[in-house]
Amino acid sequence: MSFEILLGIGAAVFILIFLTYVLAPTKNQTNLVFWSVLLVLCGGINFAVWIIRDWNEEGTTLQWVLIEATTFVGALLISSSRTSKSFPIAWKFLLINSFGLGIAFLGIILLRSSLHVINQPIEFLAANASSHPEIIWVEIGLWLAIFGYTAKLGLFPNHVWIEDTYGESPTQVSSLLSSFIPVSVCFALRPFVHLDHQLFPHTFSGADGLLVLGIITILYSIFAIYDRNDIRRISAKVALFHTGALAVFLWMDLSETVFLYMMATNLVVKSLLFISMGIVRMDAGKRELGKIIQADSINKPALSLFILALFLAFVMPGSPIFVTDIVLIKAGQIGGKSFVILVPILGIVFFGVMLYKLAPLLNIKGRPFPKDLSTILRIRMTNGFFLLLLLLSTGCWGFYLLLHGVL
């Protein structure tokens, strides 16, 4: 998979999210021109992070600045619903992300200054690490940079902003932040993880810490979803699970092609998940499972799209998640890291718990959309259908690449 294709998929996803925001807003989404400009700005900053791919002092610093900019713009977008919950949640998002990025910046400074003092090619330094006791400062810098960026990614113990942000933001904002920001952070994290593997392959280092935090995040998401009865927060826990899985993929340090395909998978899966969830919530007029189940009827096509999005986020063949799980298992066997099969296994466990909670929705009788919301919801369904086609196309294309040995 090429970087240009990832940009194309990202552009298609962003356009569909943007059209949903502009053409199908809710009653709380006022002053659309201002918020639409911020939405475009947030998307543009994320694309800029992806494009800056040279791992040098200027590149890593500029990436950090742009990712910090997504924190400020994202906090404003979170508050755009103007509810009593949105402002405290926007502050939580801003503070936790800025805290993590501050640690990451300290690590970047320490890492760059240490490498500048040592002043040797990475390959030579890796082969002669024992003759450079000052390399300990490089290791500390990597620990700080990697851990700091995990806060922005949303890994344990800084995961607490994920559920509130994705659970209380406008659907389009949740879709944008959950699909684009993790990709940007992964682009920033990947060079540090690769350098960590080069320099400290036989010690417990920052990259291994990333793996541990990813697994803890996955396990936490499974335990937490059992107690959730809000479809918004259930969807947020799905995003949290996949955030943990991203950490495992980053630790595996796979080829550029696999990495780019994983990023494309994150874009299409999470965008469809939140867009489809928003349709069900608007149609039902409620977000608590108990109240939705007690309703007389619901729009079946909207519910089917949401349930299908959940299937495609975990177990269904044809989904890019299915492809990435196969790639992960294969890479684990080749590299002697067979334990990574736990990720797809835990994904099935997560899906089973989630399906147990959502299955009663399937017994509700069908009906058309409410007349007062019909136009908005039909527009959202259309955009959701295009996202579904994009997701399935990405999955089928992934199977093609897998069969030809590219992935």
- Determine which helix (DSSP H) or strand (DSSP E) holds 366, and give its type and residue range: strand 365-366
Residue 56 pLDDT: 64
- Global confidence as pTM: 0.94
Q: What is the pLDDT of residue 173?
A: 92
What pLDDT is recorded for position 131? Answer: 65
Q: Give the number of other CB atoms < 10 A from CB of residue 193.
A: 25
pLDDT for 311: 93
119: number of Cβ within 10 Å: 7
CA atoms of 251 and 273, how far apart (whole Å): 25
Which residues of 118-185 form beta strands (DSSP E)?
Answer: none
pLDDT, tens digit (0-9, with 9 covering 90-100), for 156-175: 998 889 988 998 888 999 99
Picking from 244, 138, 153, the residue whose alpha carbon sits closest to that of residue 195 is 138
With a CB cutoff of 8 Å and minimum separation 6, the contacts of 13 are 179, 267, 268, 271, 387, 390
Distance CA 302, CA 378 (A): 9
pLDDT at 61 (0 to 100): 86
In whole angstroms, what is the distance from residue 244 CA to residue 266 CA? 12
Residue 318 CB: number of other CB atoms within 10 A?
17
pLDDT score, position 190? 94
Q: Residues in the chain with pLDDT < 70?
A: 54-58, 121, 124, 126-127, 129-131
CA distances from 10 to 3, 46, 102, 265, 340 (A): 10, 10, 28, 10, 28
Which residues lie across from 366 on neighbouring strands? 298
pLDDT per position as a tens digit, 298-349: 999 999 999 999 999 987 888 999 999 999 999 999 988 989 999 999 999 9
SS3 297: strand
What are the C-alpha distances in Å from 264 to residues 1, 36, 46, 54? 10, 24, 14, 20
**Distance of alpha carbon 188 from alpha carbon 193, whole angstroms:** 10
Determine the pLDDT at residue 263: 96
pLDDT number for residue 54: 64
Structure tokens at 100: 């993590």
Backbone angles phi, psi at 132, to 5 degrees: -130, 85
